[in-house]
Amino acid sequence: GEDVEQSLFLSVREGDSSVINCTYTDSSSTYLYWYKQEPGAGLQLLTYIFSNMDMKQDQRLTVLLNKKDKHLSLRIADTQTGDSAIYFCAETTSGTYKYIFGTGTRLKVLA
Amino acid sequence: NAGVTQTPKFQVLKTGQSMTLQCAQDMNHNSMYWYRQDPGMGLRLIYYSASEGTTDKGEVPNGYNVSRLNKREFSLRLESAAPSQTSVYFCASTSGGAGNEQFFGPGTRLTVL
C-alpha cells in the first residue's frame, strides 16, 4: 500500500540547520514534494525532486533522496523564525492523478 | 492571477444542514482536487476531477458530492452535515507541467455543531 510518514514535531534554534525527514512506500513514485503551511493558510510548494535525482539544492533548501531506503529529507540552512510552519512531504506517480501526503512536521524555531 | 480561491473562509453549521464550498482557479489547470485536513492526519483526498466533465472519488468521499461546473470551478457539497465533517477543507489544482505541482487555496474552516 501507499503511505508517507513524517515525525510530528521538530524544534531548532535560530541560525541552526533543520532536517525534516520523510519515508514513503511507493517505489513507483515519480515526483516527491515539500510543501510549507503557515498558520491559517494553504500549502505552498517549496521544492520538488524527480525520483531519478539524488539531491536538489535551492538557496537555503537542500533535498536529499535515498531511493533504496525510500527516504526523503529537507534541510533548511540558517533556520529563521519565519521558517516556523508545518512541512509536508508528498509523492505522486506519473500518469496518475493521486497525490499522497504525509502527516506533516511542525517546525518550531526558537529565538 | 488570483491562483486558487475558496469561499467561504469560515462556516459554522448545525448537524443536518447542507452547504456548498466553492473553489475557482484562474490558471487554466485541467485537474482539481478537494482535500480535508485534520490534526495529525495530513491531507486526505475527498474527490478529484482529472478534467472538465469528470469526477472521481478519493480516499474519504462518504458524505460529500462534487460538481465540476466548468474548467475553472469545482464545488464540494455537504448534503447533511455531521460533526465528523468538522475540518479544514482545501481545494487544489494541478499545473500538469514539469513537476506537476499542486497549487492550493487558502482553505475553508468548517465547524459542524
Closest-CA residue of chain B to A87: B42
Quick check: A28 pLDDT over 90? no
- Output the nine-digit C-alpha cell for B64: 460529500
- Alpha carbon distances (Å) from A77 to A13, A16, A87, A111: 11, 7, 15, 15
B21-56 pLDDT, tens digit each: 999 999 999 999 999 999 877 899 999 999 898 999
Mean pLDDT of A75-85: 96
Closest by alpha carbon to B2, among B32, B30, B29, B25?
A: B25
What pLDDT was estimated at residue A2?
A: 62
Q: Say if A68 is an interface residue toward chain B (CB within 8 Å).
A: no
Q: Cβ A45–B102 below 8 Å, yes or no?
A: yes
Closest by alpha carbon to A32, among A84, A95, A102, A85?
A: A102
Q: Cβ B100–A92 below 8 Å, yes or no?
A: yes
Closest by alpha carbon to B35, among B2, B83, B74, B80?
A: B74
Tell how strand A105-110 and strand A9-13 pair up: parallel
Give the residue, B11 or A25, on which the prediction is more confident.
B11
Contacts of B39 (CB under 8 A, 6+ apart): none
Distance of CA B52 to the CA centre of its chain: 15
